[in-house]
Structure 1
Amino acid sequence: MTSRSRGRPRDPHADELIMKTALELFVERGVEGANFEQIAKRAGVAKVTIYRRWSSKEELLTQAIEQARTLVPEAEIWASTDTSAQQPDQRLMYSWTGTLGDPRFRAALAQLIGSSVSHPALLATYREQYIQPRRQLILTALEHAKKEGKLAEDTDIAAVVDMVVGAAMYRMLIDPTAATDPAATRRYLDNVIRHANRLLQPESEVQT
């Protein structure tokens, strides 16, 4: 006897359409305007289609925001063993340049931060699902380098990572040239990472 199917497989095109629509409404109207009813209406799908895929609005919106990123996954960058390739910080710099210039992600990030007071659950979900795992990858890689003597023993790695990310966030949200001048943004990030590397170097390797 043939076993009964549990249902039709998920349509990836529907997933993409729903996330695209959710992001559009989130950028246009904020969290309140990006509810399941409005998303379903604009996307032309049934609400049950959304409920079957995402358990909450926060889960859908965080996935939609992440979908807008042009950044190469950090897991791929930090796990690379190809010594002939660019260093991880260089690869991140070039990836960040694309992300900082992406108007979709810039607008979504601005809404995400702006809604952190009125809708803290959204930022908390995004932080838990995407920011923290990504941050931990970088911290782990730098801690490994520190144990190998490639970084100064007294380096506060978490503080240095925050400095670099904070500079990138400033460039993305405050400086309009990030969207119009990719070359300038790349030079800026290059300088940020170069100065961060100086802070991380053991004293014996610091050039005078």
Structure 2
Amino acid sequence: MTGRTRGRPRDPEADEAIMKAALELFVERGLEGANIEQIAKRAGVAKVTVYRRWSSKEELLIQAIEQARTLVPEADIWATTDAPPADERLMDSWVHTFGDTRFRAILAQLIGSSVTQPSLLATYREQYIQPRRSLIRAALERARGEGRLAADADLDTVIDMVVGAAMYRMLINPDTPPDSAATRRYLEAVIHQADRLLRPAPQQEGPDDYAR
């Protein structure tokens, strides 16, 4: 006896059209303007098609925002054991994200919505930002355990500094038009400065060292 599948398989093209429409309306009209009826109309699908996939517009937007944010899931990159290729893939993902004018507009709306409707950003933070931050912190903890970072390094503050610099670059002082090479140079400079803060202090030679 063979088992039956429940319902029809999801159409990836419909998923993409719905998420694209949701993000467009979110950027144009904010959270209130991005309602299911308008999303379905712009995507060219029935409202029931949207509700079969997502229980609310908030759930839909959160998934759409994350998909727009990165080329490769960062959990996959941080899990890579070969450090230099992993670092390069991570930088590629960040350059793609921070140099994307569309994502810049999405991020501005996401932050702006937190004033009147904080649940969207709170849920996005819980589902995506905090897990990503935990991955970064775990990687830094491993480096500290291996002696590559200072034992007293304040990892959370350094993470905040790097993320804050990237957010400033995206929202306050963006490239116009976007310049991937300039974005990469800026991010590399920020990470270099963060690395200097995290490095163990060089051992100073004392009198006993000269006597040997």
Give the TM-score taking structure 2 as reference length: 0.89
Q: Secondary structure at the match of 2:127?
A: helix
Q: Which residue of 2 aligns with 1:200?
A: 198
Q: Secondary structure at the match of 1:155?
A: coil
State the alpha-carbon separation in 2 of the partners of residues 10 and 204 from structure 1. 57
- Using the TM superposition, give the Cα deviation of residue 38 of structure 1 relative to its aligned residue in structure 2, in angstroms: 0.9
Of 122, 130, 133, which residue of structure 2 is paired with 1:132? 130
Task: Summarize the Cα distance change of 1:179–1:172 in structure 2 as closer, same or farther, 3 Å threshold.
Answer: farther
Percentage of identical aligned residues: 73
Asked whether the 8 Å contact 2:91–2:184 carries over to 1, the reply is yes
**What is the root-mean-square deviation of aligned Cα atoms in Å?**
2.0
- Using the TM superposition, give the Cα deviation of residue 70 of structure 1 relative to its aligned residue in structure 2, in angstroms: 3.6
Asked whether the 8 Å contact 1:100–1:179 carries over to 2, the reply is no
Q: Which residue of 2 aligns with 1:22?
A: 22
Q: Which residue of 2 aligns with 1:164?
A: 162
Asked whether the 8 Å contact 1:97–1:185 carries over to 2, the reply is yes
The question of 1:110 aligning with 2:122 is answered no
Asked whether the 8 Å contact 2:101–2:178 carries over to 1, the reply is no
Q: Which residue of 1 aligns with 2:48?
A: 48
Q: Deviation digits for residues 68-120 of structure 1, max 9, x if unmatched?
A: 1244322222211125x3463x5433321221111221110010001111110
Of 156, 165, 185, which residue of structure 2 is paired with 1:187? 185
State the alpha-carbon separation in 2 of the partners of residues 178 and 150 from structure 1. 37
Q: Which residue of 2 aligns with 1:82?
A: 82
Asked whether the 8 Å contact 1:178–1:184 carries over to 2, the reply is no
Q: Which residue of 2 aligns with 1:63?
A: 63
Q: Which sections of structure 2, spanning at least 5 residues, go unmatched?
A: 205-212
State the alpha-carbon separation in 2 of the partners of residues 87 and 178 from structure 1. 29
Letter in 1 for 2:165: A
Which structure has the larger Rg?
2
State the alpha-carbon separation in 1 of the partners of residues 162 and 4 from structure 2. 53
Letter in 2 for 1:110: A
Query: Which 4+ residue blocks in structure 1 deviate beyond 3 angstroms?
Result: 1-5
Q: Secondary structure at the match of 1:21?
A: helix
Give the TM-score taking structure 1 as reference length: 0.90
Q: Which residue of 1 aligns with 2:208?
A: none
The number of residues matched between the two structures is 204
State the alpha-carbon separation in 1 of the partners of residues 203 and 180 from structure 2. 32
State the alpha-carbon separation in 1 of the partners of residues 170 and 41 from structure 2. 31
Q: Which residue of 1 aligns with 2:96?
A: 98
State the alpha-carbon separation in 2 of the partners of residues 13 and 67 from structure 1. 14
Q: Which residue of 1 aligns with 2:172?
A: 174
